[in-house]
């Protein structure tokens, strides 16, 4: 009876909160962020890999948009689908380790985490990573108890799909190894079923490895560059402080310091297991922040196991739990309805998610005047946003890259080599220089693209008609 009631309560909460988030995304009028627009472009050209990410994000968007179209809501709907599923998995694994009441509490905490509230309204690689990490933890916990082939195979599938979502899924293996040593479960290293899970993972990621091999490993190089950051042998205490401060916004103003307390002194069942799947991720990304740079959300999978840990410790401490939940709900509401904060801070917190639809219309008006000219730009954000919001014929956008650099996906998949004689519409923040115009028979300035978001934040781009591309050897 308790389990049925808890399941019904959780279902109603998930449906209610998800319906509210759907309404927010459908009515907030926010344009796609540059990464979201780029992922949509990838979804139009499905492959086993892309310059900066593995392929799951593109496949997810391709799946949702094939059902409901290419609106911002449909592009972002993968988040609205996967977070409820992640919440359900979290409920099941918590119930396995503790009981139904703590499982319900953990699910509620997870569903209302500030990071989940924000991420639910956007589409990013963290969405699939969260789901795969939670599924892998579920499978691992059940496999420890059952040692059944289906649980181990499910773990391998979760690991493989997680690696195809974001390579930091590999930290799960570090966590599993940490658990082996902390819990002295060395038998797992001799278990052929555990190695079978690793084999399943490798089989799933093999096509992405082959794609990288064929393209000189661009995703691995990009990931390595991010990991290296700007480290020059010095410690970046400013980045470290910013990252740690950001964790209050990811996990919660009360929950994050509470997590630190529980890690140090809290007594919770299954603490070695849960710490093994929380600490490594947090410590690795914290070290990355100290040595170079790390965004606050990069450590997000930490908070799957951390939510279980904190929920178990919080049970019965109703006042503290109420404060933690209330603050997280308020943070979530501030994300969805930022007008009061905007007024207080004299800014627009969502300014980077506005204006590109207008810019797209302005560009499209120029494109109609010169229908044979291809979109050309030296910036990833311009190519991503205009391909989505202007939809040039054939989704053709070409990267201005005469030096053959590899800076982003458009450098990888577009070329100027076969465009001799072609006309272009160059969209750039820069004035037209002789270094560019020298490659063309004629050039002229067109009406700039402009939209004012706030008094001090505007989108301004110059547009030039470049006619008769001479080729890369002529200047």
**pLDDT tens digits for range 304-317:** 999 999 999 999 99
- Lowest model confidence (mean pLDDT) among 231-245, 263-277, 295-309, 396-410: 231-245
Spell out the alpha helix ranges (H) of 315-395: 318-336, 339-345, 356-369, 380-389
Q: Are 236 and 289 in contact (CB under 8 A)?
A: yes
pTM of the model: 0.94
DSSP structural state of residue 378: S
d(CA 36, CA 123): 6
Compute the Cα dihedral for 291, 294, 300, 306 and give only its sign.
positive
Domain range annotation of the chain: 2-345, 355-469
Rounded to an integer, the average pLDDT of 370-398 is: 90
pLDDT reading at 229 higher than 70: no
Helices 302-314 and 318-336 pack at an angle, to 10 degrees, of 140
Torsions phi, psi for 172 (to 5 deg): -60, -40
Q: What is the pLDDT of residues 15-65, one digit of tens each?
A: 999 999 999 999 999 999 999 999 999 999 999 999 999 999 999 999 999
Structural contact between residues 300 and 126, judged by C-beta atoms closer than 8 angstroms: yes
Does position 225 have pLDDT exceeding 80, yes or no?
A: no
- pLDDT, one tens digit per residue, over 260-277 is 999 998 899 999 999 999
Distance CA 429, CA 458 (A): 12
The CA distance from 128 to 298, in Å, is 13
Give the CATH class of 355-469.
alpha beta
Q: Supply the pLDDT for residue 152.
A: 98
Q: What is the pLDDT of residue 343?
A: 86
Given the DSSP bridges, would you call strands 440-445 and 457-469 parallel, antiparallel or unpaired?
antiparallel
C-alpha–C-alpha distance, residues 114 and 193, integer Å: 37
Q: Write down the pLDDT at residue 230.
A: 47
For range 144-171, the mean pLDDT: 97
3-state SS, residue 44: coil
* Tokens 């639809």 belong to residue: 357
d(CA 213, CA 225): 18
Exposure of 9 in the CB half-sphere (CA atoms within 13 A): 14
Mean pLDDT value across residues 188-217? 96
Q: Is the pLDDT of residue 155 over 90?
A: yes
Each as own residue / partner, the long-range contacts of residues 99-104 (CB below 8 Å, 24 or more positions apart, any chain) are: 100/2, 100/3, 100/6, 101/2, 101/6, 101/315, 102/311, 102/312, 102/315, 103/6, 104/6, 104/9, 104/10
Task: Please say whether the beta carbons of 148 and 158 come within 8 A.
Answer: no
Can you tell me whether residue 370 is helix, strand or coil? coil
Residues in the chain: 475
Q: Please tell me the predicted confidence (pLDDT) of residue 202.
A: 98
């Amino acid at each position: 009876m308790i389990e049925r009631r808890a399941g019904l309560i959780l279902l109603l909460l998930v449906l209610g909160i998800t319906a509210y988030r759907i309404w927010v995304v459908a009515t907030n009028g926010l344009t796609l962020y540059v990464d979201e627009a780029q992922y949509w472009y990838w979804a139009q050209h499905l492959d086993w890999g892309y310059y900066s990410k593995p392929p799951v994000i593109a496949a997810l968007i391709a799946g949702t948009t094939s059902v409901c179209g290419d609106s911002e809501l449909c592009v972002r709907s993968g988040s609205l689908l996967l977070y409820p599923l992640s919440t359900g998995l979290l409920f099941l694994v918590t119930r396995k380790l503790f009981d139904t009441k703590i499982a319900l509490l953990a699910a509620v905490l997870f569903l209302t985490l500030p990071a989940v509230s924000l991420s639910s309204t956007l589409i990013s690689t963290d969405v699939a990573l969260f789901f795969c990490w939670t599924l892998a933890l579920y499978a691992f916990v059940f496999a420890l108890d059952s040692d059944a082939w289906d649980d181990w195979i499910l773990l391998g599938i979760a690991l493989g799909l997680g690696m195809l979502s974001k390579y930091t899924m590999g930290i799960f293996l570090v966590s599993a190894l940490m658990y082996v040593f902390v819990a002295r479960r060395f038998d797992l290293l001799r278990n052929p079923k555990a190695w079978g899970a690793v084999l399943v993972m490798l089989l799933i990621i093999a096509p992405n490895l082959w794609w990288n091999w064929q393209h000189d490993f661009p995703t691995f190089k990009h990931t390595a560059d991010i990991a290296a950051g700007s480290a020059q042998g010095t410690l970046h205490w400013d980045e470290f402080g910013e990252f740690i401060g950001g964790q209050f916004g990811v996990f919660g103003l009360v929950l994050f310091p509470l997590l630190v307390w529980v890690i140090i002194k809290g007594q919770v069942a299954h603490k070695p297991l849960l710490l093994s799947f929380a600490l490594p991720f947090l410590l690795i990304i914290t070290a990355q922040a100290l040595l170079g740079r790390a965004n606050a959300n990069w450590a997000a999978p930490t908070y799957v196991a951390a939510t279980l840990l904190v929920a178990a410790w919080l049970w019965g401490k109703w006042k503290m739990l109420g404060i933690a939940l209330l603050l997280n709900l308020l943070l979530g509401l501030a994300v969805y309805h930022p007008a009061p904060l905007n007024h207080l801070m004299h800014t627009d917190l969502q300014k980077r998610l506005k204006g590109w639809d207008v810019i797209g219309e302005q560009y499209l008006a120029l494109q109609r005047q010169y229908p044979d000219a291809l979109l050309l730009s030296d910036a990833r954000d311009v190519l991503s946003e205009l391909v989505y919001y202007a939809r040039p014929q054939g989704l053709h956008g070409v990267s201005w890259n005469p030096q053959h650099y590899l800076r982003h996906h458009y450098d990888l998949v577009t070329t100027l080599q076969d465009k001799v004689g072609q006309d272009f519409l160059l969209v750039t923040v820069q004035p037209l220089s002789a270094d560019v115009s020298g490659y063309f028979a004629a050039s002229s300035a067109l009406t700039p693209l402009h939209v004012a978001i706030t008094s001090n934040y505007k989108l301004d781009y110059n547009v030039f008609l470049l006619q008769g591309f001479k080729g890369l050897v002529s200047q």
